[in-house]
A and B are shown apart, each in its own frame.
Chain A
């Protein structure tokens, strides 16, 4: 029961990301999603009585709900970017596409992977949906910040998949992944500033000097 609520919350947060039209709304929804992800890890920790899972939960909360949103907000504050995300697909249509992905992921988890446990199957369906929608956000929003968040959303989905179907990765692997995400965010921040300085915008659809 508790698990279903957490999974639903996670999915709803993803839908919020899909319909967001402004950068701050996107970051806020990302934070909500990260909180649900850490709740999921907390639940797993409680049910499996694994100390490691509590550490993972804490790390998710600190890294994804506090540090990363902070870095993203710092980016938009420093470069004074317009709030508009530059949607190539409007929110209504995005939501319909998101629902389509959700249904397809459900079919995928149900048929292709043939998981017997219903909760496991639902968790996998949610995680595949989130991976797909993260990708969708990356390709259908013009601002560089949306591409960063899209990628992080994909990683959240993969984290859920890993703990849903295989009971979590080995502990040191999880830690290594956190390190990787941290490095990614730090480095991408540097590049956003560089893009902004040279192009005076962070609109990736207008980056067209390289062709062919």
Chain B
């Protein structure tokens, strides 16, 4: 019942958006819908943990274990926040005459379709359908990236579709290699994850290794891992701000979820150690590339996008030190990053509106122009670079500890260097945005109530998880760690 409503809520909201013709009412209904979705996911989590985390399998089509529930939780939280933020954001776009009422309604339809495809991914048992759902997320969100129909946004959308589709085509090759060894060596002629897992001990290690590389490169493109990250800064900076938050917070993680499903299939034939090596390689590259590029950014949203590459790299590194508590740390970091980065993008959306520019040279003194957003952005900055008492501090620390425990001393030092670079870059850029001198003649700007609510909601997680980790989340993550390691 709860599972059905996860799918039904976005579907109902799509129908509603076909009927309601008033933007504000539609936005509020939308936000209420995602509030319900969030409650449903939370209830499901409680119910799930009360049953000891036993996987739910519905007719072989839907399969939910701890990992799926965890990613559902991330999706529901960030999409709820984005739906609240959208109310004021889209209304302001309409009032400023940037988009027509019709287009605003189309926004809510696309928003729901986008969330629907992302919510479906963790529910599906069939790996081919997971692949298709992920491809659909690209095709639908491309419209939201190119929403303003100007040169830059259409260019970003074009690159986004093409690069991600190529990436995911390579992932499909990986899926087929898995299917090949599954049907030939294990006799499982099916793409259902559960059936494939039962035969995964008999997979041919040679083919699995190859397939896993294709999977990591393919879905890694969508997850924003370097060196396949080129689409990411463009798409994230050009998308509407609520969508940037969803892209960074959820979409990247959903691809990571797909990768993890295959890693779990590969455990019994090649062992976790092989996947761990790949995770470390791509993670290190991402952290290095992002750490360097963050320093030279001029566009605020691009800066945040590169920071996403850095953080997804850290998550990947955490997964790479998996046997030493790294999976727990990596997944926790994925959660913390989703919440914090969505918050940052929402602040950026407000700032861009106030200064009518993405350029950081023109954005100065936000704390005087938009006091609430300025303060939240400043707190978010400290959270993002990993200062206590915010949640990212804990997950970053745990990732580093797992690196040392795995005896990867050199790698740990390299990570520290590049994380330090990113720290310096973000601090330098964003503190100027918040504290600099206000450009002449810019009055104090109005901040929509909805954006304040969205920021408070995300801020609660950002700070709350830094102060104490709820037992439910810890249990869930420990379950995930055991699942991924195949214990």
Binding site for B on A (CB under 8 A): 112-114, 131, 135, 138, 144, 147, 151, 154-155, 158, 161-162, 165-167, 169-170, 173, 176-177, 179-180, 183-184, 187-188, 191, 194-195, 198-199, 204, 207, 209-210, 212
Contact = CB atoms under 8 A, between A and B. Distances in A.
B435 to A, nearest CB: 24
B284 interface: no
A207 B173 contact: no
A198 B176 contact: no
A182 to B, nearest CB: 11
17 contacts: A131-B173, A144-B158, A147-B162, A155-B172, A158-B172, A161-B173, A166-B183, A169-B179, A187-B142, A198-B151, A199-B154, A207-B158, A207-B159, A209-B151, A210-B159, A210-B234, A212-B233
Given A169-B191, A176-B132, 10 more contacts: A161-B173, A162-B179, A165-B176, A169-B128, A183-B136, A194-B146, A195-B154, A198-B150, A209-B152, A210-B233
A138 B206 contact: no
A210 B152 CA distance: 7
A212 B302 contact: yes
A194 B166 contact: no
B128 A176 contact: yes
B298 A212 contact: yes
Interface size classification for chain B: 35 or more
B297 interface: yes
Interface string B130-142: 0010011001001
B385 interface: no
A151 B150 contact: no
B312 interface: no
B161 A154 contact: no
A191 B176 contact: no
B445 interface: no
B264 interface: no
Contacts of B180: 165-166
A184 B135 contact: yes
B183 A176 contact: no
Nearest to B128: A173
Interface in B214-255: 233-234, 237-238
B307 interface: no
A202 to B, nearest CB: 9
Contacts of B126: 173
Nearest to A124: B180
Contacts of A114: 206
B49 interface: no
B129 interface: yes
Contacts of B296: 212
A176 B129 contact: yes
A155 B161 contact: no
A188 B135 CA distance: 13
A161 B296 CA distance: 44
Contacts of B293: 212
Interface string B143-161: 1001001111011111101
